[in-house]
Amino acid sequence: MAPRVTILLTCYNHLSYLPAALEGVRAQTFRDFEILAIDDGSTDGTREWLRDQPDIRCVFNETNLGTYETLNVGLRLARGELIAVLNDDDLWEPEKLRRQVELLDAHPEVGLVHTGGYFIDGSGNRTAGNPLGFAFPRFDTGDILLGLVYENKIIASAALARRACFDQLGGFNRDYFGSGDWEMWFRIAERWLVGFVDEPLTMYRVHGANASHKLERIWRDDQKLREWIAERLEEVGDRFPADDLRRAKAFNQAALGTILTLNGEPAAGRAAYLRSIRLDPLRWKSYARWIATFLGPKTFRKML
């Protein structure tokens, strides 16, 4: 019989963290799951360690495919009706899967559910403040599509989604470096409600090797994502109050203006800021940042 949940354990050169991640999976109170570890070309002994684990299926990519194509490899091999993602440096509390499955069982209109949590450092200690510049993501259960315009508030390791979401929408976009999960959650939120378990059940580890620290590649991702979101917002119709949609579009154009300028395209950035101002003339930050695009890249970054 197929398991209810497939856990996609994505691995890449984090052998020092991997045993703790797997220990958190094995401690889950919900037991109807399979562990599918997909290694993306590790060279630190991860592959040898995984081969010695008796309770997991292993897939070893022949070449480094990147985060999102590695997830797609896992999706093609997953047997569960629900799909969880766990990066090999993150941790779960024992009740994580059980609480998520309960919510999905109670709400068939929900396609994805994520949990609260907190940041930890390389030693596993809870970190103070917001080490990545944002609070640990959260949304209340509901229609979060416009919320996802403002920021990605779903940590990949905190997510559990119905397999049907991926079957209907396709997998992750392999062309992204670090924002492909954001794009995937947006596509899911276009068709389903998104659930939230307001409990600290996922721990996101922040350390020097996090992909989120590679800013220039993230900025290129963000430009592509913001341009894509702008197109998707034109297809929303009357799903949201007109003023809410207009403000979301204005924010997205302002964010695009910032990213274009950071990517060395200040003229395109100014055009995006002007589109933002036309949509929301009271958005004063768009005026200020439009002016800042004339002051050079170093000054612009300092003013953000």
CATH number 3.30.70.1350 given to 5-211: no
Residue 65 neighbours by CB under 8 Å, 6+ apart: 40, 41, 73, 174
What was the pLDDT predicted at 62?
A: 93
pTM, to two decimals: 0.94
What was the pLDDT predicted at 215?
A: 74
CB atoms near residue 200 (< 10 Å): 14
Q: How far apart are CA 256 and CA 274, in angstroms?
A: 11
DSSP letters spanning 11-72? ESS-TTTHHHHHHHHHT-S---EEEEEEE-S--SSHHHHHHT-TT-EEEE-SS---HHHHHH
What was the pLDDT predicted at 218?
A: 86
Which amino acid does the sequence have at 204? Y
What was the pLDDT predicted at 150?
A: 96
Residue ranges covered by each domain of the chain: 5-211, 215-303
What was the pLDDT predicted at 208?
A: 67
What was the pLDDT predicted at 271?
A: 98
**Per residue of the chain (304 residues), what is the pLDDT tens digit?**
899 999 999 999 999 999 999 999 999 999 999 999 999 999 999 999 999 999 999 999 999 999 999 999 999 999 999 999 999 999 999 999 999 999 999 999 999 999 999 999 999 999 988 888 788 988 889 999 999 999 998 999 999 999 999 999 999 999 999 899 999 999 999 999 999 999 999 999 998 655 555 678 888 999 999 999 999 999 999 999 999 999 999 999 999 999 999 999 999 999 999 999 999 999 999 999 999 999 988 888 888 8
Tell me if 82 sits within 8 A of 5, measured CB to CB: yes
Which amino acid does the sequence have at 3? P
Q: How far apart are CA 90 and CA 194, in angstroms?
A: 22
Closest by CA to 3, choosing from 84, 71, 61, is 84
